[in-house]
Amino acid sequence: MDGAETSYGAVWGNLSLRHRPADGDVEIIARVAVGDEDALEKVYARFGNSLFRYLLTLTSDRRLAEEILQDTLVAVWRGANTYRGRSSVKTWIFGIARRQAHNALRRNRLPLAAEEKLAALPAAEPGPEESLLVGADRGELAKNVGHLSPVHREVLALIFFHGLSYGETAEVLGVKIGTVKSRLSNAKKALRKTLQDPKEK
């Protein structure tokens, strides 16, 4: 027990002060890093549903999405000691999930899914950047998202449905914030166009 506590203290001490004071998720990850299985269960309880819904935007195979979620949790278990708090735990875990998904899709030579699955996602509280989409019917919006390119579908899902900021989305996708803004802007324009003119579908 003493050794585990010492290791935990070392992991906690290595985390960036940026997230340490207020982010309870960081402490959970620090516990995972020293082999606390209860902490991993807390990670699943905290992020499992959101991760699964996100993975359904990347693959049309529900079973594969479940497998990728399990792979993600294994990767979190094995890599928790590499987390340094430079980003939120949510961003870090979504990045892991995305890498696991793309690896699985490449192995299985599967395409990204159309976004009918977004119809089942719970609505997020809209921020100013989503104001153009607020008035749209939920089902109609989900239907039209399926007409977007994969990169536009994904950026819309991360920001609009999962509540990530531009910076967090950029980190998950491995692109610059300007690229995120551009993709989101183009996605909104395409959505607005199809919502206003059914012939564009």
Rounded distance between C-alpha atoms, residue 25 and residue 39, angstroms: 10
**Residue 109 counted as domain residue:** no
**Residue 76 counted as domain residue:** no
Total domain count for the chain? Answer: 1
pLDDT in tens, the chain (201 residues): 344 443 545 444 555 434 443 468 899 999 999 999 999 999 999 999 999 988 888 887 889 999 999 999 999 999 999 998 888 999 999 999 999 998 888 887 655 544 334 334 344 444 433 444 555 555 666 666 766 777 778 888 898 888 899 999 999 998 899 999 988 888 888 777 766 665 555
CATH number at residue 155: 1.10.10.10
The three-class DSSP label of residue 20 is: coil
Long-range contact set of residues 119-128: C-beta below 8 Å, sequence gap at least 24? 119/143, 120/53, 121/53, 121/157, 121/161, 124/160, 124/161, 124/162, 124/163, 125/163, 126/160
**Residue 20 counted as domain residue:** no
